[in-house]
Structure 1
Amino acid sequence: MKIVVSGGGTGGHIYPALALIREIKKENKEASFLYIGTEKGLESKLVPMGNIPFQSIHITGFKRKLSIENFKTIMRFFKGVQKSKKVLKEYKPDVVIGTGGYVCGPVVYAAAKLGIPTIIHEQNSVPGLTNKFLSRYVDRVAICFEEAKQYFPAEKVVLTGNPRASEVLGQDGVSGRNSVGLNQNLPAVLIFGGSRGARPINDAVLNSLALLSGKPYQVLYVTGDVHYEKVKKEAEMIGNPENVIIKPFVHNMPEVLAGIDLAVSRAGATSLAELTSLGVPSILIPSPYVTNNHQEKNARALSDHGAAELLLESDLSSEKLIEKIDEILLKPQKLAKMKTEAKKLGIPDAANRLSKVMKEITK
C-alpha cells in the first residue's frame, strides 16, 4: 500500500503523523510513504530524520484581520493544489491522510478532487479552519475527542484517538525514572510546559521551590531549552531542593511518563493522548494563546470526567500549584480514582483504529 501523509506547523500535527507511520510499518513492512509538508516547517526537519521521503509545497495561513496577505494565501493555495496534484499523480497513493496544519489544505483537497480516498485526523476538541474546510471533501474524519464530533458531518466521523497513544504503551517506567535520576521509592510529579517551556509555569515553580523541599514526594521539572539556564541559576540562588530535579528537555518522554504518578502540563492534544493512554492523572494549565482556546476545551474534556484538575493560567500561583499537587498526590484514594478515570478516556489502540479506517475506504 502506498500512503501519502501531510501535516505541519506544530509538533501536535507532526508527531501523530510520524507515530501512525511507525505503527503501520510494524504491521505492514511493504507499506510505503510519502510525506508532504512545507520546507520551512518543523516537519522538514523531523520527517527526514525518520528516513521518510519528503516533498514540500509553499502555503501560508490566513491572517485574522483583513489583509493583502490573505489574497496571497488564496493564490498559494491554488498553486499548492496544482503541485499536489502533480505529485499525487506521479506517486499514485492508495490513500491520503492529513493530520492538520495549513499544508493539509491543498494536499488533501487535491487528493479528493483526483478521487483518491482521503482521511483527516483532528487531534483537538475544537478543530482548526483547515480541517473544517476539508471535512466537506474527505471520505472520513478521525477524531480524538467526542467533543469534536459536532463540528463535522456526522456520517463521516469516527473516533480513533491519537496514534501517539499507541507508542507510550509497554514503556518501562523503572528505566524511565532511572534515566532522569528519580527515586524509585517516592511518588513523582512531572512538571513541563511543552518543548519550549512556559514562562508562567516556570515562575510558579520557581516560587514554589522552598515549599517543595519539605514534601514527601519528588518533582521532575522540565523547563524547555529556552528557559533552562535562567531557571537553573535562580534555583541555585534559592537553594535547589534535593527532591527537585531540573532538566531542559527529556528525549525519552514516553518512558518517563510511564514512571510518574502525576503530571502538570499544558493541554496539548498529544500530551493528553499519552497521559490518558497510560492512565496518568494530571493538573492541566491550558495555554490561553492558542486558536479558539482549544487547549482549555481539551483540558475540560478530561477534568469534566475526573481524570484531571483544571488550573487556568489566570489563577496560577505557587500556592495554588502546590495545593493542587498535594490534594492529589497525598490522597491515595483520589489519585487512584483519577488514574481509573484517565485510563477510561485513553484510546491505546488509536493507530490500529486509524489503520482500519484507512483499509475500509481503500477496499
Structure 2
Amino acid sequence: MSKYKIIMTGGGSAGHVTPNLALIPNLKQEGFEIKYIGSKDGIEKEIIKKAGIPYFEISSGKLRRYFDVKNFTDPFKVVKGIFEAINILNKEKPDVIFSKGGFVTVPVVMAASLKKIPVVSHESDLTPGLANKLAAPFCDKLCVTFPESIKYIKGNKGVLTGTPIRKELLSGDKLKGKEFCGFKDNKKVLLVIGGSLGSKIINESIRANLDDLLKEFNIIHICGKGNIDSSLDKKAAYFQLEYISEELPNVMALSDIIISRAGANVIFEILALKKLNILIPLSKNASRGDQVLNANSFEKAGYSKVIEEEKLNKKELLKAIIETTRDEEKYINAMKSSSVNNGVENIVKIIMKSIKNK
C-alpha cells in the first residue's frame, strides 16, 4: 500500500518529460504511487507509457507569443483541459502535483489549485517559460536550476534545487555504446544532439563538414524525426539516428566531445558528465531566447564554447571544434570545479515538505 499519491505533468518536448523520469525511483522509495497527466498527442505520451506509468490525457491549447488564428480557439482548449483535469483529480485524489512545464501543465496546475492540492513546479531554464509564468500563481513552490533564476520568481516561491538527472545517465558503459554504434576503431567520438525535434541548421553544418570530421572522429548524430539522410548510411564512422532513449547513457559515456543545443536539461547532463562541449543555442528569432541565456551562463562559467546560430556555418563549426579540443584541459577543469549537483534529492524533499504543509 502506497503512503502517498503524486500526479506528475509536463509535455510538448522531451525536456519537459525526462526530468520527471529522473525523480521516479526516489519517489517510489518514499512510498509514492505515481500517475501522469499529459496531452493527447504530445511526445510525453509515448515516453511515459513506455516507462509503465499510468497516463491520463487532457485537452491542451498551445500558448503562443506571436499572432496566430488558433490563439482565439486554444484558450477554450485550456478551459476544457481544466475541467478534464478536475475530473481526474476528483477520481485519483493525489496528495501533490509535480509540474515540469509545457502547455499541458497549465490546466492541471489550475485545477489542482482549485482543489487545494499542493503544486510543486520545476523550471529548467534560466528564465521561466510562458507555461510556468502562467502556472506560478497557482504553485506552492517553483524549483529552479540556475542561481540567477531566483530573482525572476515572485512571492518567495522560488527555491534553488538544480535539475533532476537520471541515475542511469551517470553510469553509462563505453563498450556498450561502441557496440551499439558499430564503431570498429578507437578514434575520438563526436556526439551531435539537435534537441528532441532536431535542428536543420546543425544537421546541415555537420554534414557539410562530414569528410573532414570523419578523419578525426567517429560521429554519432542524433538528427531528429524525419531527418535521417540515407545517402550517408554507407559511411561506417557516421552513425545517425532520429532519437535516442535507453542507449543515451552509453552513447554519452562513449563521447569525447558533444555538440548540442542549449536546453537546460541536456547542458546540465553534459556538465554532470564533465564532457567537452560546444553549444549552439536556439536563436531569439526562433524562441523566447532561453537557450541563449543558458548558453551564456555556461560560457561565462567556463564550461562551454558557444556558437550563435546566426554565425553557424561550415567554417565556424570546424574552427570551434579545433579550438575546443585545443583548450580541453581548461574546460574540463572548470566543470570539475562546479558546485552544481543533481537536483533529484532536493526536489523530492520539496515535494515531501509540500505534503506535510498541506
Q: TM-score, normalised by structure 2?
A: 0.89
Alpha-carbon separation, structure 2, partners of 1:306 and 1:189: 20
Cα distance, 1:186–1:302 mapped onto 2, change above 3 Å: same
Identity percentage of aligned residues = 29
Cα distance, 1:175–1:139 mapped onto 2, change above 3 Å: same
Question: C-alpha deviations, 1:231-251, integer Å up to 9, x for none?
Answer: 517xx6xxx4x6x42222444
Query: Which deviates more from structure 2 when the two are superposed, residues 267-276 or residues 175-184?
Result: 175-184
Report the count of equivalent residues: 350
Query: Which deviates more from structure 2 when the two are superposed, residues 113-122 or residues 150-159?
Result: 150-159
Is 1:336 paired with 2:339? no
Q: Residue in 1 aligned with 2:140?
A: 139
Q: TM-score, normalised by structure 1?
A: 0.88
Cα distance, 1:71–1:315 mapped onto 2, change above 3 Å: closer
**What is the aligned counterpart of 2:264 among 266, 269, 275?**
269
Alpha-carbon separation, structure 2, partners of 1:67 and 1:181: 45
Is 1:358 paired with 2:354? no
1:22-41 equivalence runs, <5 A: 22-25=25-28, 27-28=29-30, 30-41=31-42
SS at match of 1:64: coil
1:114-129 equivalence runs, <5 A: 114-129=115-130
Q: Residue in 2 aligned with 1:86?
A: 87
Query: Which deviates more from structure 2 when the two are superposed, residues 192-201 or residues 258-267?
Result: 192-201
Instruction: Give the unaligned 5+ runs of structure 2.
Output: none
Alpha-carbon separation, structure 1, partners of 2:45 and 2:21: 12
Query: Which deviates more from structure 2 when the two are superposed, residues 172-181 or residues 135-144?
Result: 172-181
Question: C-alpha deviations, 1:62-98, integer Å up to 9, x for none?
Answer: 3434566434333333332233222212211111011
Aligned-pair Cα RMSD in Å = 2.4
1:1-363 equivalence runs, <5 A: 1-25=4-28, 27-28=29-30, 30-65=31-66, 69-153=70-154, 155-182=156-183, 185-215=186-216, 217-230=217-230, 232=232, 240=235, 244-249=237-242, 250-251=244-245, 252-288=247-283, 290-329=286-325, 331=326, 334-345=327-338, 347-363=340-356
SS at match of 2:60: coil
AA partner of residue 76 (structure 2): M
Contact 1:168 1:277 in 2 (8 A): no
* CA displacement at 1:165 relative to structure 2: 4.9
Alpha-carbon separation, structure 1, partners of 2:266 and 2:176: 20
Contact 1:108 1:118 in 2 (8 A): yes
AA partner of residue 142 (structure 1): C
Contact 2:191 2:259 in 1 (8 A): yes
Alpha-carbon separation, structure 2, partners of 1:315 and 1:231: 27
AA partner of residue 151 (structure 1): Y
SS at match of 2:34: strand
Contact 2:121 2:143 in 1 (8 A): yes
Cα distance, 1:296–1:212 mapped onto 2, change above 3 Å: same
